[in-house]
Amino acid sequence: MNLLALRSHNTALVLDLLRTAGPDGISRLELAERTALTPQAVSKITARLRDAGLATEAGRRASTGGKPRTVLRLVPEAGHAVGVHLDRDELRAVRVDLTGAVVAERRVPVDLGVGADAVVRTVAREARGLMGDGPSGDGLGVGIALPGPLDHTHGVLHRVTGFPEWDGFPLRDALERRLGVPVVVDKDTNAAALGLAVAGEAGSFAYLHLGTGLGAGLVIGGTVHRGARTGAGEFGHQVVQLDGPPCGCGDRGCVEALCLDAVARGDLAGAARVLGVGAGNLVALLDVDLVLLGGRTVAAAAEEFVRGVAAVLDDRARRAGEEAVPVRVARGGVAEGAAQLVLGPVFGRTDG
Amino acid sequence: MNLLALRSHNTALVLDLLRTAGPDGISRLELAERTALTPQAVSKITARLRDAGLATEAGRRASTGGKPRTVLRLVPEAGHAVGVHLDRDELRAVRVDLTGAVVAERRVPVDLGVGADAVVRTVAREARGLMGDGPSGDGLGVGIALPGPLDHTHGVLHRVTGFPEWDGFPLRDALERRLGVPVVVDKDTNAAALGLAVAGEAGSFAYLHLGTGLGAGLVIGGTVHRGARTGAGEFGHQVVQLDGPPCGCGDRGCVEALCLDAVARGDLAGAARVLGVGAGNLVALLDVDLVLLGGRTVAAAAEEFVRGVAAVLDDRARRAGEEAVPVRVARGGVAEGAAQLVLGPVFGRTDG
DNA sequence: TCCACTTTCGCAACGCTGTTGCCAAAGTGC
DNA sequence: GCACTTTGGCAACAGCGTTGCGAAAGTGGA
């Protein structure tokens, strides 16, 4: 690491704290305490940020017997990013400001079967509509989140279930050529988890997404864990019943099969219990602080799922003599998380 | 991060490369390439290391048409650490040099039932015997690895199964007072995994330990993942058979119960298969590069376990159209890993 | 109303980092 | 023997966070 890297590291540290503080802002001395830098270093860094238009003064705190602290806050409009959630049947794109707040939104139906070229054109059109024109201005880039196995480091898709023509398609490069701004590609569950992490969830948590399938996004120590091949988070085909009923993947007794079967039978309690067992295995293995549930199927009966999963985790914790890990419903969309794929690095959130 | 931190960061980077290079050494220009620092920066850093006695010149490479590169290598004797594996029935302590090579070893029977004070005295005696006298000299510290839940950040034990008197015992502080050198405490599986990581295993892997119980150590991106409460790696009580046979933990269908039952019945193939299913769940969830098996039970039939686990992972990979994750027997002791709890930070291996 | 005191925060000087420019050293190859 | 390549140290340098210090802006008691 050289001095330039050191500078951007510390700048990102300060920016992240400014973002976390929100519109209320944060004083220089607080920044100094939280970053372990000296007040003078923070003053220099924030002066640069103010010159760049990224930060501004926002009033003062009450005096504690001396000169009152000047409060600084992020300027949300100083930059923006676009996040795209490319799902099997629909595309949702959002434009977010530096704080991650959505300032514009688009939604169009899509059909992955019409071929890569046509879909890329659609994605590019929607993204450009939200980005504004060209690389000039404050557009930082576009993040794309989509299901299925892919390689996030190169932005190449491996397979899109049911559409072999997508195999090995270099989505990132294709879009970068069309848009002229940086593009980042990731799995939908990873993007959702990143969005939740940036939105202030605990340091380590698992986001379990139950929709047409069952997947997970893992956040460990504030960063999304993707694994070497972007394959991490394959939660649905965890075997929890040896020699159980067959699953579409070819194995037997997978959580996804058991869980969705129970949902189909209308046995929500049973589905929640199975999901809870899988979640319990995950919590024990990774020692996360929190489990967040999301996805259409969960949304349809949120209370029931949260209660059922929590019950399993509670039992387990009680037997181990530990405190149970809390279970909650996740708040936040995939497209918002996709935008954070671009914003994250600005605030020092790099790959873990 | 300030300039002092930057300096030690880069120094650790160089030291780690010197250690990895082994007795063959590495040239300054190679160090510069691998650290992304300029050759001149590397020259300054290595000059400091040579002054401190940590590195030395070790011959030259063949010329490629100009001045031949001078090879540098670590001086193994420039520092050492002690690692202690405190198991249920035995204590094994090793003294290792900077490269991690064992230069002395001790082994004594222990009985955790004789009380914390007596055990601490024994540990301190064995450790001091290997450390040499007092804080003077090149002794960097003592690492202790032991089973059971504990808090590695404070070095406090939670419970030692069967010995309630150990609940909440501040092992680290008790030993630091007695020894006068830094002490680090961690779970046995974490220490073993750290030892394997330092010994050169891939960036991300899972170490599965099958002995009197079944646990795991997780290395993600080169660092041990311990979780917020040092609870990560709880692999044995992963449920893989809903409503299966009861386990000692109070749950049903845990991998540990199923696996050890099969071993007791002499059904090693069955045990390996169950272990493979658990490993498959883990590999899918974390996308690790490698699975390593260890522990007394595995050692007794290594071939059979490796083959059985690999078979399950191969099946799974084939169905997913991916390459299977390799399975191997782990080489390395827990005490050696415990010593790396102390040496690790010297080479930039901090908590993940 | 004044003045001592506290607290914030910027300017200037500084020590230290890695970087750049340059040159000596030490080889190869015609 | 000489031109050339490559390594690596010395010296000067730009830029990082730090330290010393003083101006600014409050509080609170006399």
**Distance to chain A for B87, nearest Cα, Å:** 21
Residues in chain B with CB shorter than 8 Å from the CB of A282 are: 285
Whether residues A239 and B281 touch (CB distance < 8 A) is answered with yes
Same domain, A121 and A66: no
Q: Which of A128, A161, A192 is the last residue of a domain?
A: A192
The reply to whether B98 and B143 lie within a common domain is yes
CB contact under 8 A, A321 and B233: no
Residues of chain B with C-beta less than 8 angstroms from the C-beta of A2: 36-37, 41
Q: Is B304 contained in some domain?
A: yes
At A29-63, the pLDDT tens digits run 999 999 999 999 999 999 999 999 999 999 898 88
Beta carbons of A85 and A130 less than 8 angstroms apart? no
- Summarised one tens digit per residue, pLDDT across range A144-189 is 999 989 999 999 998 776 778 888 999 999 999 999 999 999 999 9
Is residue A274 domain-resident? yes
Average pLDDT over residues A19-37: 93
Q: Which residue of chain B comes nearest to A270, CA vs CA?
A: B242
Q: Specify the pLDDT at position A164.
A: 80
The whole-number pLDDT of residue B203 equals 86
Q: Which residues pair with A187 in a beta bridge?
A: A146
Collect all residues of chain A within an 8 Å Cβ-Cβ radius of residue B250.
319
Same structural domain for residues B163 and B87? yes
The number of C-beta contacts closer than 8 angstroms across A and B is: 137
Q: Are residues B280 and B187 in the same domain?
A: no
The distance (Å) linking the CA of B351 with the C1' of C18 is 27
Domain assignment present for B352: no
* Whole-number average pLDDT of chain A: 93
Q: Considering A168, A192, A216, which residue would you say is the last residue of a domain?
A: A192
* B351 in any annotated domain: no
Q: What is the pLDDT of residue B4?
A: 93
Task: Give me B176's structure tokens.
Answer: 């630091």
pLDDT tens track for B297-312: 999 999 999 999 999 9
Which among A105, A58, A52, A101 has a CA at the least distance from the CA of A76? A101
Q: A214 and A291, same structural domain?
A: yes
Q: For chain A, how long is the longest CA-to-CA vector?
A: 72
User: Do A277 and B242 make contact, defined as CB atoms within 8 angstroms?
Assistant: yes
> CATH no. for residue A288?
3.30.420.40
CA B76 from chain centre, in angstroms, equals 19
Boundary (domain end) residue, out of A77, A97, A117: A77
Q: How confident is the model at residue A133 (pLDDT cuts 50, 70, 90)?
A: low
* A204 and A264 co-located in one domain: yes
Same domain? B97 vs B179: yes
Kindly state whether residue B268 falls inside one of the protein's structural domains.
yes
Residue A208 β-bridge partners: A216, A293
- Determine how β-strand B156-157 pairs with β-strand B183-187: unpaired
- Return per-residue pLDDT of chain B as tens, 352 residues: 899 999 999 999 999 999 999 999 999 999 999 999 999 999 999 999 999 999 999 989 888 888 899 999 999 999 999 999 999 899 999 999 999 999 999 999 999 888 899 999 999 999 999 998 645 568 999 999 999 899 999 999 987 767 788 889 999 999 999 999 999 999 999 999 999 999 988 789 999 999 989 999 999 999 999 998 999 999 999 999 999 999 999 999 999 999 999 999 999 999 999 999 999 999 999 999 999 999 999 999 999 999 999 999 999 999 988 899 999 999 989 999 999 999 999 998 876 5
B64 lies in the same domain as B83: no
Q: What is the CATH number of the domain that holds A52?
A: 1.10.10.10
pLDDT over 60 (residue A127) = yes
Q: Can you tell me which residue has its alpha carbon closest to the C1' of nucleotide C19?
A: B38
Whether residues A225 and A321 fall in one domain: yes
- Residue B333's pLDDT is what? 92
Flag whether pLDDT at A321 surpasses 90.
no
What value does the CA radius of gyration of chain A take, rounded to a whole number of Å? 22
Compute the distance between CA of residue A192 and CA of residue A207 in angstroms, rounded to an integer: 8
Distance of CA A263 to the CA centre of its chain: 26
Instruction: Check pLDDT > 70 for residue A253.
Output: yes
CA distance B285 to A288: 14
The answer as to whether B185 is a domain residue is yes
Q: Are residues B310 and B216 in the same domain?
A: yes
The proportion of chain A whose per-residue pLDDT surpasses 90, expressed as a percent, equals 84
pLDDT number for residue B126: 97
Q: A214 and A274: one domain?
A: yes
List the structure tokens of B339: 């010593």
Nearest to A238 among B2, B285, B315 (CB): B285
Residue A128 resides in a domain: yes
pLDDT at B136: 54
Give strand ranges (E) for chain A.
26-27, 55-60, 70-74, 80-86, 90-97, 102-109, 139-146, 150-151, 156-157, 183-187, 205-210, 214-220, 223-225, 290-294, 327-329
The count of structural domains within chain B is: 3
- Nearest residue in B to A315, CA atom: B251
- Whether the pLDDT of residue A134 is over 60: the answer is no
Looking at the partner chain, which of A159, A240, A285 has a beta carbon nearest the beta carbon of B234? A285
Q: Which of A37, A150, A286 to mutate to test the interface with B (most CBs of B within 10 A)?
A: A286
In the sheet with B90-97, reading across from the earlier edge strand, the strands are B102-109, B90-97, B80-86, B139-146, B183-187
- Contact call for B284 and A352, based on CB within 8 A: no
What the block records as the tokens of B29 is 């220009």
Alpha helices in chain B (DSSP H): 3-21, 28-35, 39-51, 116-131, 171-179, 188-198, 255-264, 268-286, 296-299, 302-320, 334-346
| Percent of chain A surpassing pLDDT 70 | 98
Tell me how far apart the alpha carbons of residues A294 and A210 are, in angstroms, rounded to a whole number. 6
| B325 belongs to a structural domain | yes
- Domain of residue A258, residue span: 200-329
Does the pLDDT value for residue A136 go beyond 60? no
Query: Are B227 and A277 inside 8 Å of each other by CB?
Result: no
Does pLDDT of A135 surpass 60?
no
Task: Quick: pLDDT tens for A153-164.
Answer: 999 998 776 778
- The helix/strand count (H/E) of chain A reads as 11, 15
B13 plus B133 within the same structural domain: no
- Predicted confidence at residue A352, as pLDDT, reads 53
The more confidently predicted of residues B332 and A121 is A121
Cα separation, B257 vs B238, whole angstroms:
10
Region A301-308 average pLDDT: 97
